[in-house]
Structure 1
């Protein structure tokens, strides 16, 4: 899936969430670093839960992280 959004400082990004553990996102070094930084930490998949540890290979959890830490503008499957 392709996700477009902006980081907290206003920088725009477009990444592909791959669902692979070795390369969870393609397209932005800053978003890749964000995913690596939060790997293994609890993430809410939706605003009300469930909570799951972030596995970089879990596309759903990576998208939830981006929605939590950045402003997601569009998601294309």
Structure 2
């Protein structure tokens, strides 16, 4: 799935969430580092839950991290 958005400093990103263990996100090293930083930690899948531990192969959880930590503009 392709995700576009902006980071907290206003920098735009356009990444592909791959669902692969070795490289869960391609297209932006900063977003990849953000996902790696949160891997193994609990993340809310929605505003009120449920909570799931982030696994690099879980595209739903990766998208939830991007929504929580950045401003997601589009998902396709």
Taking structure 1 as the reference length, the TM-score comes to: 0.97
User: What residue in structure 1 maps to residue 46 of structure 2?
Assistant: 46
Q: 2:68 is paired with a residue of what secondary structure? A: helix
Give unmatched runs, 5+ long, in structure 2: none
Once residues 3 and 31 of structure 1 are traced to their aligned partners in structure 2, the CA distance between those partners, rounded to angstroms, is 11
Once residues 7 and 21 of structure 1 are traced to their aligned partners in structure 2, the CA distance between those partners, rounded to angstroms, is 23
- Listed one character per residue, the Cα deviations across residues 32-77 of structure 1 (whole Å, up to 9, x for unaligned) are 000001111100001110000110110000000000000000001x
User: What residue in structure 2 maps to residue 3 of structure 1?
Assistant: 3
Runs (4+) of structure 1 moved beyond 3 Å? none
Q: 2:34 is paired with a residue of what secondary structure? A: helix
Give unmatched runs, 5+ long, in structure 1: none
- Please report the RMSD computed on the Cα atoms of aligned residues, expressed in angstroms: 0.4
Once residues 47 and 21 of structure 1 are traced to their aligned partners in structure 2, the CA distance between those partners, rounded to angstroms, is 26
Taking structure 2 as the reference length, the TM-score comes to: 0.98
